[in-house]
Amino acid sequence: MNIENLLEKTLTKPQYEAIKILGGQFHKKGTRAFLVGGTIRDLLLEREVSDIDIIVEADPWNLIHKFDPKYPLDMISNSQFNTCKIKILDQAVDLAMARKEIYPASGALPVVTSASIEDDLGRRDFSINALAACINPPNWGEVLDLYRGLEDLQLKHVRILHAGSFKDDPTRIFRCIRYSGRLGFSVEGDTKTQLLNDSTYLAQLSGVRITNELAKVFSEKNANSIFDLMDQFKVLGHIHSGFPKEPEFSERKSLLENIRIPTPEFVFYVLISLIEPNQRLDLIKRLDLGNKLSKFGTDLNRIERLEVNSSRSEIFKQLTEVSEIAISVAESYAPRELRSSLELFVNELKTISLCIGGEDLMAIGIPQGPKIGDILSKILTYMIDSGPQPKSGQIRMAKKFFSDF
Ligand code: ATP
């Protein structure tokens, strides 16, 4: 099959020109170059192509330095894994050397060696992502389809290349469900069986790798329905039994949409808010969500532990160290009584403060030491429960509390 016409029809003019130049230059340097992965999949589906991924059967970084200088290139980045990012005709292009991967253990990162395009396609996750189209001028647009990817695009299903695929790399379980949800494809029969059998290997993934995959799911346009699919495949339970489920997730997500939470972290706040308090910190640790989200989990636990008939000072004590974001999140779903306590704290209790400090107490003869802090905190508690006091009243109370010690 040749997709010469499709390349011209589907790519933007600058994308097309950029790929033409790169194909011509790599050809002159005596190496084969191919459009691969999502680029070719989306082209064949006539979807907009956002990323241009090219595989070269050599180290691309070395070769681009030898290109004809009449084609100006911006070198954006280069990695130790023989991949680099460039800009040509204002188009960002990812270049990578064709490679082979061997997985030493399930869930571990692969050992990589240089290889042919055929080997490179064989290491890929799904047949629809294992297609390539040559960009060397003599073979411009010729499709390499070693794994029946074209047929699977027609059948609209996601299929792994070999039975051990999910075991080798369990992140492919997330990828499979993500593509299925994004493209509206089904998961092919044997792939589905294998996915259900191999979900246990998810337990071997590090927290960071799981979090990265979840972040990709959540950045999809139809993230909620993909999350729903993950539920149906019972994927999340293999990561942690405390994982929330659809539809609670979508409901909570829309509830929290108006709270100012940084975008990439947003869904993790949603997740944490849905987890049972006794499982919260364990799941945060499993996903390696970092200190900020751990603090958020602890804060929510503190808030949810607040008893209904707590005194004003008890509310203050419980919430004084809690972050504003945790309070805003809890306010959105808390039962009425708890919400009133949160509102009382935010609108009134939090604004009460002392107008005296340690120096004022020392000035009236109270010796320096831990008693100073205890007395100040007693005065504040008194004011929270019984109302504000002027400076003179606060000094009077300090003297009284000191004499009571
Ligand atoms: P999109 O960026 O639109 O989600 P993509 O196919 O470009 O889709 P990437 O994650 O950028 O996805 O990966 C590029 C290509 O690398 C994929 O098409 C696939 O062929 C291959 N790939 C990525 N991750 C894996 C993996 N875990 N196992 C095997 N192949 C992978």
DSSP string, 125-158: SBGGGSEEEE-SGGGTTBEEETT-HHHHHHHTEE
**Same domain, residue pair 168 and 224:** yes
pLDDT for residue 110: 76
Does residue 67 form part of some domain?
yes
At CA 142, angle to CA 137 and CA 145, rounded to 5? Answer: 145
Residue percentage of the chain with pLDDT more than 70:
100
**Same domain, residue pair 160 and 146:** no
Q: Which amino acid is at 337?
A: E
Ligand 1 centroid, distance to 248 Cα (angstroms)? 30
pLDDT for residue 402: 82
Candidates 45, 93, 125: which one to mutate for ligand 1, based on the most atoms within 8 Å of Cβ?
A: 125
Phi and psi torsions of 148, nearest 5°:
60, 40
Looking at the CA of residue 125, tell me the nearest atom of ligand 1.
29
Q: Which amino acid is at 203?
A: A
252 lines ligand 1 (CB under 6 A): no
Q: Which amino acid is at 234?
A: K
Ligand 1 centroid, distance to 332 Cα (angstroms)? 37
**Residue 197 in tokens:** 């059998």
- Contact status, residue 63 vs residue 56, Cβ threshold 8 Å: yes
Rounded CA gap, 394 and 392, in Å? 5
Does residue 315 form part of some domain?
yes
pLDDT for residue 170: 95
Rounded CA gap, 270 and 380, in Å? 34
How many residues are listed for the chain in this entry?
Answer: 405
pLDDT for residue 187: 97
Rounded CA gap, 363 and 50, in Å? 69
- Contact status, residue 328 vs residue 343, Cβ threshold 8 Å: no
**Considering 211, 239, 267, which residue would you say is the last residue of a domain?**
239
348 lines ligand 1 (CB under 6 A): no
pLDDT at 367 over 90: no
Peptide bond into 247 cis (omega under 30): yes
**Same domain, residue pair 26 and 120:** yes
Burial 379-402 (b: 16+ CB within 10 A, else e): bbbbbbeeeebeeeebbebbeebb
**Considering 351, 376, 395, which residue would you say is the last residue of a domain?**
351
**Same domain, residue pair 388 and 346:** no
**Same domain, residue pair 74 and 204:** no
pLDDT at 124 over 90: yes
Candidates 99, 103, 117, 124: which one to mutate for ligand 1, based on the most atoms within 8 Å of Cβ?
A: 124
Ligand 1 centroid, distance to 114 Cα (angstroms)? 18
**Same domain, residue pair 82 and 148:** yes
**Same domain, residue pair 347 and 380:** no
pLDDT digits (tens, 9 = 90+) for 54-102: 999 999 988 998 999 898 888 888 887 788 999 999 999 999 999 988 8
**Same domain, residue pair 22 and 124:** yes
Rounded CA gap, 282 and 265, in Å? 18
Does residue 247 form part of some domain?
no
Q: Are strands 111-114 and 99-102 parallel, antiparallel or unpaired?
A: antiparallel
The total number of structural domains that make up the chain: 4
Torsion of CA 385, 387, 388, 392, to 10 degrees: -90
Domain range holding 50?
A: 1-152
Does residue 244 form part of some domain?
no
Phi and psi torsions of 215, nearest 5°:
-60, -40
CA–centroid distance for 367 within its chain: 53
Residue nearest to atom 2 of ligand 1 (CA): 38
**Same domain, residue pair 118 and 188:** no
Does residue 378 form part of some domain?
yes
At CA 351, angle to CA 336 and CA 317, rounded to 5? Answer: 65
Range picked from 136-140, 212-216, 362-366 for highest mean pLDDT: 136-140
Residue nearest to atom 5 of ligand 1 (CA): 38
Does residue 120 form part of some domain?
yes
DSSP 3-state assignment of 60? helix
Burial 271-296 (b: 16+ CB within 10 A, else e): bbbbbeeeebeebbebbebeeebbbb
Tell me what the mean pLDDT of segment 354-367 comes to: 86
Does residue 245 form part of some domain?
no
pLDDT for residue 117: 96
**Considering 351, 371, 389, which residue would you say is the last residue of a domain?**
351
Residue nearest to atom 28 of ligand 1 (CA): 125
pLDDT at 241 over 90: no
pLDDT band at 304 (very low <50, low <70, confident <90, very high): very high
The DSSP letter of residue 142 is: B
DSSP 3-state assignment of 53? strand
**Same domain, residue pair 147 and 162:** no
Does residue 249 form part of some domain?
no
pLDDT, greater one: 160 or 276? 160
Burial class (CB in 10 A: 0-12, 13-18, 19+), 141: middle
165 lines ligand 1 (CB under 6 A): no
The closest of 367, 386, 384, 23 to 398, measured between CA atoms, is: 367
Q: Supply the mean pLDDT for the chain.
A: 91
Residue percentage of the chain with pLDDT more than 90:
61
**Same domain, residue pair 209 and 230:** yes
- Contact status, residue 21 vs residue 71, Cβ threshold 8 Å: yes
Residue 6 sits in a domain whose CATH number is 3.30.460.10
**352 Ramachandran zone, left/alpha/beta (phi>0; psi -120 to 50):** beta
171 lines ligand 1 (CB under 6 A): yes
**Same domain, residue pair 143 and 60:** yes
172 lines ligand 1 (CB under 6 A): yes
